[in-house]
Chains A and B, each alone.
Chain A
Amino acid sequence: MTETVCADTECSFSLTGVCARSYSDPEECPYRNGTGGQLNEKAGGSSAGRMVQSVGDGNVVTTIGEPVLSAPVVDPSLPRSGTLGSRDLDLLMRDRYVNLIGIVGLPDAGKTACIASLYLLLAHGMLDGFTYANSKTLIALDEISRGARRWNNGYPEQMTLHTELADDRQAGFLHLRLLREADSKKIDIVVPDLPGEWSRQLITHADSDRFSFLGSAEVLWVMVNGRDFYQSATRQAAIHDTTNLIERLSELLKNARPRLILVSTWRDISDFPRDAFDRIEAYAKPLGFDVELASIASFSENDAVRPGIGISELIVASLTAGSKRENPWPHSESLPNPSERLYLDFRRQA
């Protein structure tokens, strides 16, 4: 079966059977079979709908069904230094020693703001004791810090955007290699940038699958919004939420007990209240956590408080191993009988 199609784009012969050039017999129309044979036949079936328009000398100029324009040249794309997925993180950890810092906290606790502040301090050489050495996620870090450059006719209400992940089942990680000035040692840290809803889900539904990476974390930062602890109206609820989160973490981590630092933001408004910390500490103790406190101000509206205060100390605290373990090689003078064989005896003493 063939379908007659006219080369004149205005002609609707194939639909109406009427020649636009008013030829009673379409066969006479020059567009149908004139010198150039400009009317074409679209053959069905085996020729797969291809239609060829020819000119006088018979050369094929267009093949209908093929693209009208040539495909644009696509430049090869370069790997972008965006957030790392868990597979990239595995590769990185295989390559070198990486300190994974597990950051958890409810929405609005200031998790992203803290990372943005850390990055901006490094970007201006203003982080005490550390300088920037490298990052596999530099573009991602710059993107999250962009809000802190905005001038909304004054100090903006919100410095960083609410974190949303493209893949809601997998955490995105940010990497920083720091040079510690004290001993010129390079230290790799990796932090997750997670939406606070994940922590909320962890509390309400014990939804812990997405947090499986916390098993490899050396230190946990439980981020809390310091303003909630400062105001008495919200303090009780804030303590309640925080202790819930710590209890969920203790279940999630099974027997592992990484160090846990309670990171309170908004230090520019007030210091973290002592009694609130005591309650959290007492709650976490039986769960096996020795909670430490770090109070930071990622940004600051208060002229007396420098923005980024406490972040350098927080990094130092996170990198020092919390060694409260028994000394395996005690000094001989402290032992009752120095002539005994210390090595063999050690387990019995411990």
Chain B
Amino acid sequence: MRKKSIILVGGPDSGKTNYVGRVWLSLKERKSSLKRAGMPSDIEYIEAICAHILKGEFAGRTDRNMERKDFCVPVQFGEGDITELVVPDFTGELWLNAVVNSELPQDWLDEIEKADSALLFVRVLSPQNIQPLDWVTAREVLRLTGNNDDDHKLPTQVVLCELLRLLEDRLGSQNPEVRPRIAVLVTAWDLLDPAARAAGPMQFLRRQFPLFWGALGDLVRADVGVYGVSIVDGDPERDQAFKDKILASNLADAGSITFESTTGVEVNHDVTLPISWAIS
């Protein structure tokens, strides 16, 4: 069987694990355009994530002492070949460290070079996002708020740019004839107001992370797709009524993907869409 590997890249709390859990729900219930061809042999890890989602909760942060987890599932595109999809997941600190200290374990570097495509995660309004104020662009706010705790940390958009540079340099380099694909997943998309959602994920990145937005437009060696991702279309942890509502329905039907197509901003309820695009 052919193998296709998608690598999940993103800092801590960027939504990698929850997204994979939700994708498995869609695959299991056969609700997506991406079809699974049989049952994966090891589902312990992925089921542990799903246990949270099925209770109407988000899975907590991935344990940094945990060993690397690969979620492997056989999938089929249309009537095409059966391909084993391998999705290695690990704590976001690994990726943060790759940028801050310019170090990445050899096996992950190999994984990037072997991978066919990558999903790069950034979460809307994450408390882990670092967007420090400065005296040039936010003088008034800085004067009012004073303390600027994040002044010594690397801003999230710089981390994203550096991860993108790493992916552009190395992703799929063992297979140079194939042009790698990078899907950027803007997670927790439902937290944005309707106007921001309607403008699409690219506009969001332009407003929130101008450096990262610019770098995406300057990518040469890889194709890029940008998706606004919401795994259940709401926050069941803060909104009890919403939680009751989704628990009363099939969770594999919840969630949506927002993306820009030639006709404008589109919303699709198949959450596996970024993966289908990335490996097609």
Contacts and interface: CB of A to CB of B under 8 A. Distances in A.
Contacts of B150: 149
Given A76-B106, A149-B134, A159-B135, A133 B162 contact: no
Interface in A106-158: 116-117, 120-126, 131-135, 138-139, 142, 145-146, 148-151, 153-156
A300 B136 CA distance: 8
A186 B215 CA distance: 12
A299 interface: yes
Contacts of B139: 300, 307
A308 interface: yes
Given A134-B218, A151-B142, A125 B207 contact: yes
B151 interface: yes
Contact of A149 (B143, B151, B161, B166): B151
Contacts of A154: 143
B137, B142, B218 — which one has the most chain A CB atoms within 10 A of its CB?
B137
Interface in B197-213: 206-207, 210-211, 213
Contact of A76 (B109, B142, B157, B217): B109
A209 to B, nearest CB: 32
Given A117-B136, A124-B210, A142-B154, A179 B217 contact: yes
Contacts of A116: 136
A46 interface: no
Contacts of A42: none
B103 A120 contact: no
A180 interface: no
Nearest to A118: B136
A79 interface: yes
B87 interface: no
A344 interface: no
A151 B151 contact: yes
A93 to B, nearest CB: 18
Interface string B28-70: 0000000000000000000000000000000000000000000
A326 interface: no
Given A133-B214, A179-B214, A78 B137 contact: no
B152 A132 contact: no
Contact of A123 (B135, B142, B155): B155
A120 B146 contact: no
Given A78-B98, A120-B136, A123-B157, A132 B211 contact: yes
Nearest to B208: A125
Interface string A299-331: 110000001100000000000000000000000
Nearest to A117: B136
Contacts of B165: 81, 138
A169 interface: no
Contacts of B106: 75-76
For the complex of A and B, the 7 pairs showing the least CB-CB separation, nearest first, are A125-B210, A132-B214, A149-B151, A124-B137, A75-B103, A120-B136, A134-B218
Interface of B: 98, 102-106, 109, 132-139, 142-143, 146-148, 150-152, 154-155, 157-158, 161-162, 165-166, 169, 206-207, 210-211, 213-215, 217-218
26 contacts: A75-B104, A76-B104, A77-B102, A81-B165, A117-B136, A120-B134, A121-B136, A122-B214, A123-B157, A125-B207, A126-B137, A132-B215, A133-B215, A133-B217, A134-B214, A135-B161, A138-B158, A138-B162, A139-B158, A146-B151, A149-B132, A149-B151, A177-B218, A298-B136, A307-B136, A307-B137
Given A123-B211, A132-B214, A139-B158, 9 more contacts: A73-B105, A75-B104, A76-B109, A117-B136, A124-B138, A138-B158, A138-B162, A148-B136, A299-B136
